[in-house]
Structure 1
Amino acid sequence: MKKVIVILEAINAYVGLTVRWCALLMLLLQFGIVLLRYVFGISYIFLNEGVLYLHATLFMIGGGYTLLVDKHVRVDIFYAERSAQGKALIDTAGHLAFLLPSMVVLFIYSWPTVRASWQILEGPISVGGIPASFLLKSLIPAFCVLIIVQCVANLLRDLLTLRGAEGPPRPIQ
């Protein structure tokens, strides 16, 4: 079970450490857009859409990594005071009752739209924009898959905690 946890968490660790570069690229692109607009009076729609694509990629693809490093939003009113086993029990219930089903439903309902977008290689959002809306839409099922991968890893880790065993060390953040 520990080997499976290590493999699943390694996926989101690698993806998270890779996709974080989107933040720097987004910053540099936005700086270039502002420079072009206010210094040279030039504006390109595809550059503005580039910021949108990078932003979407950062947050959608980075979702599994955020869950891995436990930096997602949580209401700690009841959770913070619990023991490790109490936290594992709450997390297990939350993963099984809410996170896993919602990701499966989102994947199932988004897939036909993404598939149709790929079939026609759907073009830009705006005239003069990036001619690859199908890539942007593909982030939704990718998000679901990465969250499900991390959800399974968390469930296995929580099961070890409930058994009184210690899970493998978390990947480097």
Structure 2
Amino acid sequence: MLRFAGYIDALNRAVAMGLRWLVLAMVLIQFGIVIGRYVFGVNSIWVQESVLYLHATLFMLAAGFTLLVDKHVRVDIFYAKASPATRRRIDISGHLVLLLPAMAALAWWSWPSVRNSWKILEGPISVGGIEAVFLLKSLIPLFCLLVALQSLAILLRLLAGKDSA
């Protein structure tokens, strides 16, 4: 089971290492948009939307890695001062009762929208934009999958008595 958890960790690390290049692309494209608009007086909805697509991809697909490295948002009213055993119980409960059911619900309820978007190859958000909203919507189930898998890996480790990856 711990080997399986390690494979999940490796998957999310690989995804994150690939996605980090999107940050550079976003900065360069946004810089180009500003220069184009304010220096040359040109603008492109398609290019502006590309920043949105890159940003959405980065945050949706890197969420599993964020959970892996424990940099996610944690409401630690009790957690910060709790004993290690209590923290373990809080973590296990959080994954089983909150995180995994939330990912399942989000995947379940978003799937019809994603499926329909692919069925019609849903077009741009704005006139002149990127004609691939279906790809943008596909990030939702991928987000759910990567976060749920990482949650499972963490849960396996917690149940085996291991605290970190």
Q: Using structure 1 for the length normalisation, give the TM-score.
A: 0.91
Q: Identify unmatched segments of 5+ residues in structure 2.
A: none
Superimposed CA distance per residue, residues 4-37 of structure 1 (whole angstroms, 9 cap, x where no aligned partner): 1111111111111111211111111100000100
Q: Matched residue of 1:80: which SS?
A: helix
Identity %: 57
Equivalent in the alignment of 1:155: 155
| Paired position in structure 1 for 2:33 | 33
Instruction: Please tell me whether residue 99 in structure 1 is matched to residue 99 in structure 2.
Output: yes
CA offsets 1:24-58 (integer angstroms, 9 cap, x no match): 11111100000100010000000110010011011
Shift of 1:80: 1.8
Residue 142 of structure 1 deviates from its aligned partner by 0.5
Aligned length: 165
Equivalent position of 2:88 in the other structure: 88
1:85: Cα distance to partner?
2.6
How far is 1:67 from its partner? 0.3
Cα distance in 2, alignment partners of residues 83 and 25 from structure 1: 43
Is 1:116 aligned to residue 146 of structure 2? no
Q: Which SS does the other structure have where 2:71 is aligned? A: coil
Matching residue's letter, 1:102: A
In structure 2, what is the equivalent of residue 23 of structure 1? 23
SS at match of 2:6: helix
Write the deviation string for residues 91-130 of structure 1: whole angstroms up to 9, x where unpaired: 1001111100010010011111101111111111111000
Q: Deviations over 1:55-91 (max 9, x none)?
A: 1011101110100000001122311223333212101
Cα root mean square deviation, aligned: 1.2
Q: Which amino acid in the other structure matches residue 129 of structure 1?
A: G
User: Could you say what secondary structure the match of 1:124 adopts?
Assistant: coil
Q: Which runs of 4+ in 1 moved over 6 A?
A: none
> 2: CA distance between counterparts of 1:27 and 1:84?
41
Structure 2 counterpart of 1:62:
62
